[in-house]
Structure 1
Amino acid sequence: MSVPADTFHRGPALSELREPPHGPLLDGRLRDLLGGKKIVMTGVTGFIGEQLLWKMLTDLPDTKPSVLVRRKGSADAVSRVRNLLKKKIFADLAERHGGLDGLLARVEVIEGDLPNVPALPADLDVVVHCAGDVSFDPPIDQAFTTNVVGTRVLMERMLEAVTGPDGVRTKVPHYVHISTAYTAGRRRGAIPEAGHVHGIDYEAETRAGLAMREQVEAASRMPERLTELRHQAERVHRQAGYLTTAADTERRRQEWVTAELVAAGTERARSLGWTDVYTFTKALGERVVTDLGADIEISIVRPAIVESSWLHPYPGWIEGFKMAEPLILAYGRGELPEFPASADAVIDIVPCDHVVNAILAVCATDPTPGEPEYYHVSSGARNPLTFHDIYGHIRSYFTAHPLENVSKPGAPLPEWKFPGAVSVERLLSTSERAHGLAERVISRAPRSHQTRKLARDLDLMRGRLDFWRRYHTLYNEYAQSELHFVDDNTLALTRSLDPADQGTFAFDTAGYDWTTYLEDVHCPAITASVRRMDALRKKRANRPTTFKDLTNNTAGASAVAVFDLDGTIMSTNVIEQYLWARLPDLSPLDQVVELGEVLGRLPGYLLTEQRDRGSFLRAVYRRYRGMDLAELERRVDSTMTDFILDRVSPDALRRIQEHRAAGHTTILITGAVSVLTRPLRDLFDVILAAELGVDADGRATGYLATSPLVGESRAAWLSHYASLHGVDLTRSFAYADSHSDLPMLSTVGNPVAVSPDISLMRAAQRKNWSIVEWKTKPPTPRWRLPA
Structure 2
Amino acid sequence: MASIAAYYAGKNVLITGATGFMGKVLVEKLLRSCPDVNAIYILVRPKAGMSMQERVDDMMKCKLFDRVREDHPDFHKKIIPVSSELTQPNLAISPKDVEMLTSCINIVFHCAATIRFDEPLKHALQLNVIATQQLLALARQMQTLEAFIHISTAYANCNRRHIDEVIYPPPVEPKKLIDSVEWMDEGIIRDITPRLIGDRPNTYTYTKALAEYLVQQENGKLNIAIIRPSIVGASWQEPFPGWIDNFNGPSGLFIAAGKGILRTMRATNDAVADLIPVDVVINLTLAAGWYTAVQRPKSVLVYNCTTGGINPFHWGEIEYLVISTFKRNPLEQAFRRPNANITSNYLINQYWIAVSHKAPALIYDFYLRLCGQKPRMMRIFNRLHKSMMLLEYFSSQSWEWNSDNMNMLMAQLSPEDKKTFNFDVRQLHWPEYIENYCIGTKKYVLNEDMSGLPAARQHLKKLRNIRYAFNTILLVFIWRIFIARSQMARNIWYFVVSLCYKFLSYFRASSTLRH
What TM-score do you get using the length of structure 2 for normalisation? 0.77
Which position in structure 2 is the counterpart of 1:33? Answer: 7
Task: Select 2:414's aligned residue among 480, 498, 501.
Answer: 498
Structure 1 residues 92 and 389: CA distance shift in structure 2, 3 A: closer
- Using the alignment, how far apart are the partners of 2:342 and 2:119 within structure 1? 32
Q: How does 1:525-674 map to 2 (within 5 A)?
A: 525-528=440-443, 529-530=445-446, 532=448
Query: Once the two structures are aligned, what percentage of the paired residues are identical?
Result: 27
Residues 1:394 and 2:322 are matched in the alignment: yes
- Using the alignment, how far apart are the partners of 2:376 and 2:66 within structure 1? 42
Which position in structure 2 is the counterpart of 1:725? Answer: none
Which one scores higher on RCO, CA 8 angstroms, separation ≥ 6?
Answer: 2
Structure 1 residues 211 and 124: CA distance shift in structure 2, 3 A: same
Q: List per-residue Cα deviations over 1:229-273 (Å, max 9, x = no partner).
A: xxxxxxxxxxxxxxxxxxxxxxxxxxxxxxx95x865x256x422
Provide the aligned length of Structure 1 versus Structure 2.
440
RMSD, aligned α-carbons: 3.2
- Using the alignment, how far apart are the partners of 1:334 and 1:451 within structure 2? 18
Q: How does 1:10-159 map to 2 (within 5 A)?
A: 27-64=1-38, 65-94=40-69, 96-97=71-72, 99=73, 102-116=74-88, 117=91, 118=93, 119=98, 120-159=101-140
- Using the alignment, how far apart are the partners of 1:433 and 1:59 within structure 2? 49
- Using the alignment, how far apart are the partners of 1:89 and 1:451 within structure 2? 38
Task: Select 1:472's aligned residue among 385, 388, 401.
Answer: 388
Q: List per-residue Cα deviations over 1:489-537 (Å, max 9, x = no partner).
A: 1122123211112221111111120111112x111111235372997xx
Specify the structure having the higher radius of gyration (Cα): 1
SS at match of 1:365: helix
Q: Which deviates further from its counterpart, 173-182 or 394-403?
A: 394-403
Q: List per-residue Cα deviations over 1:372-417 (Å, max 9, x = no partner).
A: 1100111111111100111111122122223342333xx5x43425
SS at match of 1:502: helix
Q: List per-residue Cα deviations over 1:15-73 (Å, max 9, x = no partner).
A: xxxxxxxxxxxx33101222232221111111111111111111112323222222222
Structure 1 residues 124 and 419: CA distance shift in structure 2, 3 A: closer
Q: List per-residue Cα deviations over 1:581-614 (Å, max 9, x = no partner).
A: xxxxxxxxxxxxxxxxxxxxxxxxxxxxxxxxxx
SS at match of 1:339: strand
Which position in structure 2 is the counterpart of 1:623? Answer: none
Residues 1:523 and 2:438 are matched in the alignment: yes
- Using the alignment, how far apart are the partners of 1:315 and 1:432 within structure 2? 32
SS at match of 1:176: strand
SS at match of 1:137: coil
Assess if the C-alpha contact under 8 Å between 1:37 and 1:125 holds in 2. Answer: yes
Aligned partner letter, 2:164: P
Task: Select 1:375's aligned residue among 297, 303, 312.
Answer: 303
Assess if the C-alpha contact under 8 Å between 1:341 and 1:421 holds in 2. Answer: no
Assess if the C-alpha contact under 8 Å between 1:114 and 1:154 holds in 2. Answer: no
Q: List per-residue Cα deviations over 1:348-387 (Å, max 9, x = no partner).
A: 1111111111110000013546611100111111111100
Task: Select 1:357's aligned residue among 283, 287, 292.
Answer: 283
Which position in structure 1 is the counterpart of 2:218? Answer: 292
Q: How far did 1:195 drift?
A: 0.8
Aligned partner letter, 2:8: L
Aligned partner letter, 1:183: A
- Using the alignment, how far apart are the partners of 1:379 and 1:31 within structure 2? 26
SS at match of 2:150: strand
Q: How far did 1:135 drift?
A: 1.5
Aligned partner letter, 1:361: A
- Using the alignment, how far apart are the partners of 2:140 and 2:412 within structure 1? 30
Aligned partner letter, 1:452: R
Structure 1 residues 503 and 138: CA distance shift in structure 2, 3 A: same
Structure 1 residues 215 and 45: CA distance shift in structure 2, 3 A: closer
What TM-score do you get using the length of structure 1 for normalisation? 0.52
Q: How far did 1:488 drift?
A: 1.7
Q: List per-residue Cα deviations over 1:114-169 (Å, max 9, x = no partner).
A: 1443223322221110011112222222211100010000110111233xxxxxxx
Residues 1:484 and 2:400 are matched in the alignment: yes
Structure 1 residues 390 and 457: CA distance shift in structure 2, 3 A: farther
Assess if the C-alpha contact under 8 Å between 2:170 and 2:213 holds in 1. Answer: no
Task: Select 2:175's aligned residue among 203, 222, 229.
Answer: 203
Which position in structure 2 is the counterpart of 1:250? Answer: none
- Using the alignment, how far apart are the partners of 1:424 and 1:310 within structure 2? 32
Aligned partner letter, 1:75: M
Structure 1 residues 204 and 429: CA distance shift in structure 2, 3 A: farther
SS at match of 2:108: strand
Aligned partner letter, 1:493: L
Structure 1 residues 451 and 490: CA distance shift in structure 2, 3 A: closer
Q: How far did 1:77 drift?
A: 2.9
- Using the alignment, how far apart are the partners of 1:70 and 1:121 within structure 2? 20
- Using the alignment, how far apart are the partners of 2:307 and 2:392 within structure 1? 20
- Using the alignment, how far apart are the partners of 2:367 and 2:112 within structure 1? 50
Which position in structure 2 is the counterpart of 1:324? Answer: 250
Which position in structure 2 is the counterpart of 1:161? Answer: 142
Structure 1 residues 211 and 342: CA distance shift in structure 2, 3 A: farther
Q: How far did 1:95 drift?
A: 5.5
Aligned partner letter, 2:13: I
Task: Select 1:416's aligned residue among 341, 354, 359.
Answer: 341
Aligned partner letter, 2:79: V
Assess if the C-alpha contact under 8 Å between 1:294 and 1:369 holds in 2. Answer: no
Structure 1 residues 279 and 199: CA distance shift in structure 2, 3 A: closer
SS at match of 1:489: helix
- Using the alignment, how far apart are the partners of 2:395 and 2:311 within structure 1? 18
Which position in structure 2 is the counterpart of 1:752? Answer: none
- Using the alignment, how far apart are the partners of 2:230 and 2:8 within structure 1? 25
Q: Which deviates further from its counterpart, 423-432 or 386-395?
A: 423-432
Which position in structure 1 is the counterpart of 2:334? Answer: 406
Structure 1 residues 288 and 85: CA distance shift in structure 2, 3 A: same
Structure 1 residues 313 and 454: CA distance shift in structure 2, 3 A: same
Q: How far did 1:183 drift?
A: 0.3
Assess if the C-alpha contact under 8 Å between 1:115 and 1:151 holds in 2. Answer: no
Aligned partner letter, 2:77: A
Assess if the C-alpha contact under 8 Å between 1:144 and 1:210 holds in 2. Answer: no
Structure 1 residues 198 and 159: CA distance shift in structure 2, 3 A: closer
Which position in structure 1 is the counterpart of 2:369? Answer: 452
Assess if the C-alpha contact under 8 Å between 1:144 and 1:209 holds in 2. Answer: no
Structure 1 residues 276 and 396: CA distance shift in structure 2, 3 A: same
Assess if the C-alpha contact under 8 Å between 1:44 and 1:53 holds in 2. Answer: yes
Residues 1:508 and 2:424 are matched in the alignment: yes
Assess if the C-alpha contact under 8 Å between 1:147 and 1:282 holds in 2. Answer: yes
Which position in structure 2 is the counterpart of 1:333? Answer: 259
| Structure 2 gap segments, 5+ residues each | 457-515
